[in-house]
Structure 1
């Protein structure tokens, strides 16, 4: 059942609001295995000029786990619905949506459903489809994704310890991989397995040409999860979008390349 009050929406998604109440709102949406804490190096940098909204996807962080409904969250549309309900609860329009990883496509879906709420999309490490498909290169063969998901189903904690450092990249900074592993391991394994399957088997390529708000695509120079070719595909598919390639590597530049990412976002919004 859909939430019936503002308080229920804000509690369900552990919504935190800070910064300049008179400034243009920015909402930050985290990726798989993370929480709003993943924005700790980014979001505070915008609090002086913007109202900053952070939240946890249901099943992550300090969200209301009891609100997790496998039917609703069997596709990314359920998460997009949550984003729109948060914006409605806070009465926000012309919002700057900053999404990381899977939240990029969640933002695309939300903006396509109600573009009046959005002024900008900033997509960090987006991928509309992770599986290769004929001429499309998503980075993984279907058999590789199925093997990854089978391993995750069999031993989520073991999978987390192995995959988090790979996803993070930056092997010369092992503390980053360790931190991501801890974040992965803090999530209920059953929810994590379901979210992973929804994420890695999603296909949102047809949603990209429907985007009608200004969009910045931000890509790491070397990303095992969303290769550079994918960033170029997203850029080509979203009308009028811009593409910026960071010098940082790995799929989590919000932690591994925060200063460069903040500078690019500021340059875009200037």
Structure 2
């Protein structure tokens, strides 16, 4: 695939200080697009070159590139990320991934470690299903119910899920913002993407990661319980776990100053 096609497929944006030797890649989670970083990125525009992109299938421009067969696992999204880095000649970047993109970054780092110098995982999970001696937060029956609701009435599911995932009940505009992003997804792609995410298991990759990793965890996260952040911290040998003063699955939207501050301290540390 040509550089132009890669840039178009993932709606890649380059912002900030074009001449900086420091590059930060911001990667969004399920149900959002790169606009989810709008409250965080202003803190980095002056000193860093910023790369933002949309996961394939997450926005209308990328629907033509989406294939149910290709994107049935997160590995395909990781290959997209690797292709973006190659197209832009990126190496040793700081990678900040929210939710599913946290694991996409882990996969890419396991394949081509030189692409990233440090990793920031926000509300990320290596496995959503509970297992023996592992709390992921969901039973298979829970996930099957989610898939059924997405398929039967996507509008109702999206509105209910956006409220539960965003929380911050005293700030309804945040829920509306996420609901609008979620409802902009094509329902069939939303369903297949949800399956690829929730049925994934990348626990085996964690011990292989040698990068410095910052794990940011919020409270009352419907998708990622506190036990998952603790597990990541135990399995990623060079990791730091910080619980941010926020609730819900989107602290980079609801508590952007604190998240931006934590990222800044992490990437500026020697």
Deviation of the 1:213 alpha carbon: 1.3
Could you list the runs of 5+ residues in structure 2 that have no partner in the other structure?
none
Question: Would the aligned equivalents of 1:36 and 1:61 in 2 still touch at CA under 8 Å?
Answer: no
Please say if residues 132 and 141 of structure 1, whose CA atoms lie closer than 8 Å, have aligned partners that are also in contact: yes
Q: What is the distance in 2 between the residues matched to 1:62 and 1:148?
A: 23
Unmatched 5+ residue regions in structure 1? Answer: none
Q: Aligned equivalents of 1:222 and 1:187: distance in 2?
A: 25
Q: 1:56, 1:62 within 8 Å by CA — same for their partners in 2?
A: no
| Map of 1:100 onto structure 2 | 98
Q: Distance in 2 between matches of 1:12 and 1:156?
A: 25
Q: CA deviation at 1:61?
A: 2.5
Partner of 1:12: 9
The correspondence for 2:171, drawn from 173, 186, 193, is 173
Match of 1:264 in 2: 262
Aligned match of 2:144 in 139, 143, 146?
Answer: 146
Cα distance in 2 for partners of 1:70, 1:228 equals 32
CA distance in 2, matches of 1:220, 1:235: 14
Distance 1:39 1:205 in 2: 27
Deviation at 1:7, TM superposition (A): 0.5
Q: Of 207, 215, 219, which aligns to 1:217?
A: 215
Taking only aligned residues, the RMSD between alpha carbons, in angstroms, comes to 1.0
Deviates more, 1:57-66 or 1:156-165: 57-66
Q: 2:214 aligned with 1:201, yes or no?
A: no
- Once residues 151 and 32 of structure 1 are traced to their aligned partners in structure 2, the CA distance between those partners, rounded to angstroms, is 16
Q: Secondary structure, in 3 states, of the residue corresponding to 1:212? A: coil
Matched-pair contact (CA < 8 Å) for 1:220–1:250: yes
- Following superposition, the deviation at residue 152 of structure 1 comes to 1.2
Deviations 1:132-166 (A, max 9, x none): 11210011112111111111121111110111110
Distance 1:230 1:245 in 2: 12
Deviation at 1:45? 1.5
Out of 38, 56, 76, which is 2:74 matched to?
Answer: 76
Does 2:150 correspond to 1:125?
no
**What's 1:56 paired with?**
54
Q: Counterpart of 1:64 in 2: which secondary structure?
A: helix
Q: Match of 2:149, SS?
A: helix
The answer as to whether partners of 2:118 and 2:267 remain within 8 angstroms in 1 is no
Q: How far did 1:62 drift?
A: 4.9
Does structure 2 conserve the Cα–Cα contact (< 8 Å) formed by 1:101 and 1:126? yes
Q: Which residue of 2 aligns with 1:188?
A: 186
Alpha-carbon shift at residue 250 of structure 1 (Å) = 0.5
Distance 1:250 1:159 in 2: 17
Distance of 2:114 and 2:267 partners within structure 1 = 19
Deviation at 1:259, TM superposition (A): 0.7
